[in-house]
Structure 1
Amino acid sequence: MRLHHIQLAMPAGLEDTARHFYAELLGLEEVERPARSHDGQLWFCCFDDQG
């Protein structure tokens, strides 16, 4: 089994706090979120296509 993605919700307005935690502290790469997504969502990549 492989993990494809996870979605983490947060209160709108706390994106910078979440970005600091996931990108700066955990080292995940933020990726552009789809236009259909809502405030309170950030997208991060844990692995590339190679795993």
Structure 2
Amino acid sequence: MITEPDPLLQSFEELQQDYNILQKEYQHLLDENSRLKQENKGQHVHIHKLEE
């Protein structure tokens, strides 16, 4: 039985966590991009009023 954590395994697990976070963020951006494209479909000009 291994008593000390394997540094390579720890690094791998950290990379997996980072990768999962990036995948979720990427999917969020894809979803947001699709939503904005759908929202702007058929609209020639879309103006947002600036809040004062």
Alignment TM-score, normalising by the size of structure 1 = 0.24
Structure 1 or 2: larger helix share?
2
Structure 1 or 2: larger strand share?
1
Larger Rg: 2
Higher relative contact order (CA closer than 8 Å, sequence separation 6+): 1
